[in-house]
Structure 1
Amino acid sequence: MAGDDSGEFQAGRSGLIVRIPEAEPVVRAWRDRLDPSARAGVPAHVTVLFPFLDESRVDHEACAVIGEVIGRHRSFETRFEHCGRFPGILYLVPEPDIPFRRLTEAITDRWPETPPFGGRFDEVIPHLTIAQGQDDAVLEEAEADLRSRLPVTASVSSVDLLVHDGTRWQQRASFALR
């Protein structure tokens, strides 16, 4: 969800994710070693929106609206068959990715002041991060191992709200898809 920029692990920071527990047996060891968000308590996931609202703005009313927005979307299955790369980053590619894109669009339409990744990217590409800030040799080693362990199929039925408590990411709420 978050990179290793110091500001991204601030107390009160929040994000919306889709947990992918089916991927944990395949990716956990690599993520624990190579992804700072995993070490900070974030499970294997595809980010819906990060950063989201400051924790001080996530009250009962905000959660009700999040639940309403998320609840307009159907549950779906996704499959991770191969890896992708950004500079210094290795990730698994969800197929299809359209349901993730629609969730992100719906939340950002409702909260336009919270653009995905702070507006740093022209296009948001749904992905499950394995490694961040690594050189190509490390990424190649991880990718070679993962290729032999894919595909992973996952059922997506909810979106979770995580909040950083100053030390770790904690689940604050879960919102069901229909």
Structure 2
Amino acid sequence: MESQENRSDRTALLVAVPAAEPVVGGLRARFDRSASRGMPAHITVVFPFLPATAAVVTELRSIIAAVPRFTVTLASVGWFGQRVVWLAPEPAGPLRELTRLVVDRFPGVRPYDGRFTEVVPHLTVGHDQPHRVLLDAAAEVEPQLPIDVPVSSVHLMASVAGGNWNTVATFELGC
């Protein structure tokens, strides 16, 4: 498998969270560069991922169809240090399981290029801003929680040469 750094495009496998857009959309537009490039509010399953070849799409369709639909609740604000503010999905187990299933089937794929020992499911509100700015964002979001998130599909999105993100395939979870 070709590494993500050697390709001109980037891909991400994710759960879109349209229910969170009214709460985090404006903040993400200001504090998360990917939002201005078409990336919706989301919880990442695997990033970076593989190109959307026919074989990859077929394999993903099979994996994801075997996972029953589920609901998570964005119930609290979390932090990675002082540089990333995010919303925590509860329970996180079904999202971790989705990641595990994909990585097991595509063993050359490492979430976040293996930079973290534990993958923490989350919805990023903002990052790489002054801590005070992110504290204000957290304070704005917190009173609007919880947000229920029915999870019925997973999207494969691609960004060619750093451009806009586009959905290239959508995979429905099982019933």
Counterpart amino acid of residue 142 in structure 2: R
CA deviations on 1:52-105 (whole Å, 9 max, x unpaired) are 01x3xx222221111101111110011011100002000000001001000000
Q: Secondary structure at the match of 2:144?
A: coil
RMSD of aligned residue pairs (Cα, Å): 1.4
- Is 2:81 aligned against 1:84? no
| Separation (CA, whole Å) in 1 of partners of 2:38 and 2:87 | 19
Counterpart amino acid of residue 114 in structure 1: V
Runs of at least 5 residues in structure 1 that lack an aligned partner in the other structure = 1-6
Which TM-score applies when normalising by structure 1? 0.91
Look up the match of 2:58.
64
For residue 145 of structure 2, the aligned residue among 145, 150, 158 is 150
Runs of at least 5 residues in structure 2 that lack an aligned partner in the other structure = none
Counterpart amino acid of residue 54 in structure 2: H
Q: Secondary structure at the match of 1:77?
A: strand
Q: Secondary structure at the match of 2:121?
A: coil
Look up the match of 1:175.
171
- Is 2:68 aligned against 1:74? yes
For residue 27 of structure 1, the aligned residue among 24, 28, 34 is 24
Which TM-score applies when normalising by structure 2? 0.92
For residue 122 of structure 1, the aligned residue among 103, 107, 117 is 117
| Separation (CA, whole Å) in 1 of partners of 2:55 and 2:80 | 37
Sequence identity (%): 39
Q: Note the C-alpha offset of 1:26.
A: 0.4
Which runs of at least 4 in structure 1 moved beyond 2 Å after TM superposition?
A: none
Which sits farther off after the overlay, 21-30 or 135-144?
135-144
Q: Note the C-alpha offset of 1:165.
A: 2.2
CA deviations on 1:97-140 (whole Å, 9 max, x unpaired) are 00100000000001111110000000000000010112220111
| Separation (CA, whole Å) in 2 of partners of 1:31 and 1:90 | 11
| Separation (CA, whole Å) in 2 of partners of 1:20 and 1:83 | 16
Paired residues, number: 168
| Separation (CA, whole Å) in 1 of partners of 2:151 and 2:106 | 23
